[in-house]
Amino acid sequence: AQSVAQPEDQVNVAEGNPLTVKCTYSVSGNPYLFWYVQYPNRGLQFLLKYITGDNLVKGSYGFEAEFNKSQTSFHLKKPSALVSDSALYFCAVREGNRGGGFKTIFGAGTRLFVKA
């Protein structure tokens, strides 16, 4: 079974500093990897995804993620954090079944706090 791990429950960073939210994955076959963000009392918003191609994926709101096959990681990064980036971040992997159906498996989430 496929899985993702987010080793940090919380990440604290000062505004203007670079941020990294870590994610490692375990899949059989080619991975479909995603990052989502959730603001309080809201649903999940799509940030970016890796399907194939360049290992560096650029997404919404200045976020990017680097796919590293040898380290089975897909860390989320941003060069300069904003206070408004404070939210809950989820890494996810897509898993298929033999019947053609699919599901998204989410990590536990990492809460990002950006201090002014």
Partner 1 sequence: KAGVTQTPRYLIKTRGQQVTLSCSPISGHRSVSWYQQTPGQGLQFLFEYFSETQRNKGNFPGRFSGRQFSNSRSEMNVSTLELGDSALYLCASSLGPVGQAGETQYFGPGTRLLVL
> Which residues are at the interface with partner 1 (CB under 8 A)?
32, 34, 36, 41-46, 49, 51, 90, 94, 96-97, 99-109
- Decide whether 85 or 95 has the Cβ nearer to partner 1: 95
CB of residue 71 to partner 1, shortest distance in Å: 21
CB of residue 21 to partner 1, shortest distance in Å: 15
- Decide whether 23 or 81 has the Cβ nearer to partner 1: 23
- Decide whether 51 or 56 has the Cβ nearer to partner 1: 51
Question: Other C-beta atoms within 10 Å of 115: how many?
Answer: 11
d(CA 75, CA 91): 9
CB of residue 28 to partner 1, shortest distance in Å: 14
Strand segments (E) across the chain: 3-5, 10-14, 19-21, 24-26, 33-38, 44-50, 56-58, 64-68, 73-78, 87-96, 102-106, 110-115
